[in-house]
Amino acid sequence: MPATPAAALRSLTSILSLSLLVSNSAFAMDETLVTATRVTRDALTLPHAVGIVEADDIQRRQLIGLDESMGRIPGVYFSNRYNYSRDLRISIRGFGARSNFGVRGIKVYVDGVPSTVADGQTALDDLDLSNVERVEVIRGPSSALYGASAGGVINIFTQDGPETPFAEAGVLQGSHDFDRYQFKTGGQHGKLNYFINGSYLNFDGFRERSNVEHSTVSGKFRYDFSDGSTGQMIIRATDSPTADDAGGLTADEVALDRGQARQRNADLDSGETVEDQKVAFSWNKTMGVHQISLRNYYNWRDFSAKLPLPPFAGTGIIQFDRFFFGGGAQYNNTSSLFGHGNRFTFGVDVDSQSDERQRFNNLSGSRGPLAFDQEEKADTVGVFMQNEFAVTEQVNLQASVRYDDVEFEIEDRFTANGDQSDTISFSEINYMFGAAWSPMQALNLYGNYATAFETPTFTEFANPSSNGTLGGFANVAPQRTKGFEFGAKGILFDRVRYELAYFDMDIEDEVTAVTNIGGRAFFNNADTERSGIEFGLGAQILEGLEFNFAYTYNDFEFDRFASNLAAEGQTLPGVPEHYLYLEFDYVHKSGAWVKWDWAYIGSIFADNVNATKVDSYDVSNLVFGYDYKAGKITLSPNFGINNLFDESYNQEIRIQAFGGRFFEPAPKMNLFGGVRLRYDFDI
């Protein structure tokens, strides 16, 4: 029987009691600074819920998905680790769970470069986890800072070159023909800091037709100019020639054979190929109380996918060539105001996206006649202001406002069925007010009220009545969110960090999956209500031994659903009501280390009317290794066990899937292991 949240909470109480009894200031926790709010602040005094994950927690894993290390952040739920053709599903407070592929409702940045394009879709296939240094997550509405995003913001930072140059190579191998190779090198040469890395993945997967071949390479170069300013250039490239899609299964098919692929997916060679390149530039200069930042980025993406749609649907093969570019400027001023500490921020973001999209018939995996051809353009301009004011040493106020102008344009190039060329635009003003009271390190109380908006993506405009063969814009409006959050966070006894948050949000015209035809989702609008409780805790129990715990309670339901009255009052699908995570992390001074984690995922509904309920489950993972140092050489073998207790569960639930094909089974217990070799050069 799976462990219950109540049992886990009883265990937590015992562990906390032990940690407090053996409290020792020698293990004191440091101040945690974050930049996810566009400026550097202590996470404890921010009027937001903020989660942080560091390099050792990320890189000492199998490096399949970002979710491996982020379970410790409450309010964040992941699924779809093993289907690369649909990408990792990230949900913050339920936003993003409805996405048919990729990440929605959340802004994602990597080293200040947006991975979220102008229409709101995010792909993370160019992220190499072996060089991620830090991840910061803001939970909740964030449009006042970042534009169209209601769920929050994920800021990812990659490694810089160390002072001592180094070179490192590694290999991981495991069950289901898993092979992963990586290299990285970096250092400091005069005023130039550099870091270069690459990885190659070849993985057959647990299910039939789950093959993936994926390679990435990136470079990060920073130069310190003599005038005190800093310039940075980032280059990233990805080539993924294979990412098969095994498809969703019915409950009967799962019971018969968890490892099988859907037959139609096999017949129509379902999957995708991707090539992606990015280059970005930034410049920063501080002059006393003034700070200026400039940024500019370019992204080219070639994408092709085969969907399991029958030939008569006319849209079974998709391909698009994307060019996404943009930039921005930001000014900070830290002059005091009326004798009180103050920081004023003003900024501009500009993004432009152009997709040349075509759809063809899928004739047994081969490209048939052209059925859809259009150019899709999205242009966004955002202007934002933020002010942080210290009323006293213990009381801080923060206010943000942002204006966004978004324009979508479709130029129909396939006019045999009429010209569906069209233009639609949105103008939005969003704001946030927050306050934090910090009487002591152990207690920091905060609250905020915020609004947000989120536009549909181009794929969400598609009309199900034509199976997406007609262009133009369907009747999907942008969703608007307003809500409040109260919380407490602090550090107890110099060794226990905690956070507690309660939120309540009303969402008008939420873009919601209403049907799924042969593997393609279609969307409409519904009003929803969301509230929840999030609790996170980290404790240094003994020297080298750390404990992390997270619990999330979600109460999400449909309030109004004009196109599906039966769904009104029902629970939103795709997100568990209860989610619980705990982890022990031990590092010995000899270099040996071990990580063990356990997660309980509550039941999930698979459809809007709650006709199908997916049972709860729990899953555990173990990984351990040893860092052996001999002079300039470090040898690091490691070994891991996924799904330690051999649980049968589904790694993804396809919301509103046609024919009850909701389920994508996960592998049962599987193994991996490998070694890394590092050499540190003399300066």
Closest CA to 101 of 86, 90, 114: 86
Question: Looking at 24-33, 34-43, 166-175, which range is the least confident one?
Answer: 24-33
Strand order of the β-sheet with 106-110 is 49-54, 132-139, 152-158, 106-110, 113-114
Is residue 32 pLDDT above 80, yes or no? no
Copy the structure tokens of residue 15: 């562990």
Q: What is the reported pLDDT for 526?
A: 84
Taking 80 as the threshold, does the pLDDT of residue 109 lie above it?
Answer: yes
Q: What is the mean pLDDT of residues 194-201?
A: 98
> To the nearest whole number, what is the mean pLDDT of the chain?
88
| Nearest one of 101, 51, 106 to 80, comparing CA atoms | 101
Query: In the predicted model, is pLDDT for residue 123 greater than 90?
Result: no
Determine the pLDDT at residue 418: 81
Going by pLDDT thresholds of 50, 70 and 90, the confidence category of residue 89 is confident
Q: What percent of the chain has pLDDT over 90?
A: 70
Question: How does DSSP classify residue 262?
Answer: P
Q: Can you give the pLDDT at residue 372?
A: 86
Q: Which two tokens stand for residue 645?
A: 């207790």
Per-residue pLDDT of 668-680, as tens digits, reads 999 999 999 999 9
Tens of pLDDT, residues 554-604: 999 999 888 888 989 999 999 999 999 999 999 999 999 999 999 999 999
* Cβ atoms 441, 31 nearer than 8 A: no
pLDDT for 564: 85
Task: Say if residue 519's pLDDT is above 90.
Answer: no
Burial 501-536 (b: 16+ CB within 10 A, else e): bbbebebbbbbbbbbbbbbbbbbbbbbbbbbbbbbb
Using CB atoms within 10 A of its CB, is residue 163 exposed (0-12), middle (13-18) or buried (19+)?
exposed
CB 388 within 8 A of CB 131: no
Residue 477 has pLDDT above 70, yes or no: yes
Band of residue 419 on the pLDDT scale cut at 50, 70, 90: confident
Mean pLDDT of 266-273: 93
Strands 106-110, 152-158: pairing kind:
parallel
Give Cα separations from 507 to 94, 159, 440, 593, 598 (angstroms): 11, 37, 35, 45, 32
Level-2 CATH architecture, domain 5-680: Beta Barrel (2.40)
Residue 518 has pLDDT above 80, yes or no: no
**pLDDT number for residue 309:** 77
Among 480, 603, 485, CA closest to 533: 485
For the segment 225-267, what is each residue's pLDDT rounded down to a tens digit? Answer: 999 999 999 999 999 999 999 999 999 999 999 999 999 999 9
State the pLDDT at residue 246: 95
The lowest-confidence range among 15-24, 189-198, 293-302, 449-458 is: 15-24
Q: Would you mind telling me the total number of residues written for the chain in this entry?
A: 683
Query: For 17-29, how does the pLDDT look when each residue is reduced to its tens digit (9 = 90+)?
Result: 444 433 333 444 5
The predicted structure's pLDDT at residue 42: 80
Mode of pairing for the β-strands spanning 290-306 and 342-363: unpaired
Tell me what pLDDT residue 11 has.
Answer: 47
Q: Count Cα neighbours of 23 within 13 Å in the Cβ-side half-sphere.
A: 14
* Mean per-residue pLDDT, 621-637: 96
Q: Within its chain, how far is the Cα of 156 from the centroid? A: 9
More confident residue, 28 or 35: 35
| Amino acid 24: pLDDT | 39
Please tell me the distance from the alpha carbon of residue 376 to that of residue 421, in angstroms, as a whole number. Answer: 10
Asked if 39 and 33 touch (Cβ cutoff 8 Å), the reply is: no
| Position 683 confidence tier, pLDDT thresholds 50, 70, 90 | low
Flag whether pLDDT at 471 surpasses 70.
no
pTM: 0.91
462, two tokens: 């598609």
Q: Cβ-count burial of 453 within 10 angstroms (0-12 exposed, 13-18 middle, 19+ buried)?
A: buried
pLDDT at residue 316 in the model:
85
Band of the pLDDT at 681, cuts 50, 70, 90?
A: very high
Give percent of the chain with pLDDT exceeding 70. 88
Query: What tens digit of pLDDT does each residue of 359-384 get?
Result: 898 888 888 889 889 999 999 999 99
**The pair of three-digit structure tokens given for residue 588, joined into one six-digit string:** 């010995």
pLDDT at 28: 46
Per-residue pLDDT at 270 exceeds 60? yes
Q: How far apart are CA 671 and CA 110, in angstroms?
A: 30
Lowest-pLDDT range, 41-55, 69-83, 302-316, 444-458? Answer: 302-316
Q: Is 288 exposed, middle or buried (0-12, 13-18, 19+ CB in 10 A)?
A: exposed
What tens digit of pLDDT does each residue of 319-365 get?
999 999 999 999 999 999 999 999 999 999 999 999 999 989 888 88
Measured CA distances, 604 to 304, 625, 646 (Å) = 31, 35, 20
Does residue 511 register a pLDDT over 80? no
Q: With cut-offs at 50, 70 and 90, classify the pLDDT of residue 523.
A: low
**Rounded Cα distance, 550 and 534, in Å:** 8
